[in-house]
Amino acid sequence: MGKIKAVIFDWDGTIVNTMPFKLDNAGQVFAKHFDVSPREIALSYKAYSGIARRDLFNLIAKDNIGRELTALEFNQLSQFFTTKNLESYKRNQVFDETNREILGWLKDNNISLFISSSAIQREINELAEYLKISDFFTEILGSGEGFKKGKDHLDYLRNKYHLDSNKIIFVGDEKADIRLSGRLAIRCVGISQTVDNDDLRDEFADLIVSELSDLRDIISRA
């Protein structure tokens, strides 16, 4: 790898281990509003995870109620989901404290750190503040209408911080992250915390690591 100037991290499953709670909460939220199985909702959520919430919820709804959500339905479900998620995160251990060291090391070595997530902005910001990790990141980007993880986020970061694509790596834990990085022509490090190495390898991740601390060697060799 060439000299790395910036690392863009996925959020769920990469920096924080929130997915188990999201799956459970999504099931509860949809079941409260519709006559659906929480288990089936969780399965749909897991299948489509990695895209913006509006798109995700519409796919879940089409699978389970046969149609997309109205704007009012989505807003109600989204607000309820965010509230339940934040409650769950604060009751449980969702951040591996050993990762605080590698984030500090990267920042101390003048690597700009960013979050690019399909989660909504409020949810990421509130959790990052609660965990006291906000200061590690130059900017935290969530997804919403008209501004989503992917090309929107990358174009914004490249333009605002004058970053060349070949000086950026993206770190994510899902196959969707690897595919997205490939489409955007930036290098991707797959972290195998939530999926099998072979799944990430099949999507042609540039490198695969088992934990965030492995980034120290990658950056040092760049």
> For residue 205, what pLDDT is reported?
62
Give the predicted TM-score (pTM) of the model: 0.87
Cβ–Cβ under 8 Å, residues 168 and 147: no
> For residue 144, what pLDDT is reported?
87
In the chain, at which residue ranges do the beta strands (DSSP E only) sit? 6-9, 112-116, 139-141, 168-172, 187-191, 207-209
Domain ranges of the chain: 6-16+97-221, 19-91
Phi then psi for 209, rounded to 5 degrees? -125, 160
> For residue 50, what pLDDT is reported?
82
> For residue 145, what pLDDT is reported?
86
Q: Which residues contact 132 (CB under 8 A, 6 or more apart)?
A: none
Q: Which CATH architecture has domain 19-91?
A: Orthogonal Bundle (1.10)
Could you tell me which CATH class the domain 6-16+97-221 is placed in? alpha beta
Cβ–Cβ under 8 Å, residues 137 and 127: no
- Decide whether 6-16+97-221 matches 19-91 in CATH topology: no
Local confidence pLDDT in tens for the 222 residues of the chain: 458 999 999 999 899 999 999 999 999 999 999 999 999 999 999 999 888 899 999 999 999 999 999 999 999 999 999 999 999 999 999 999 999 999 999 999 999 999 999 999 999 999 999 999 999 999 999 998 899 988 999 999 999 999 998 899 999 887 777 677 767 778 888 887 555 545 544 444 677 888 999 999 988 886
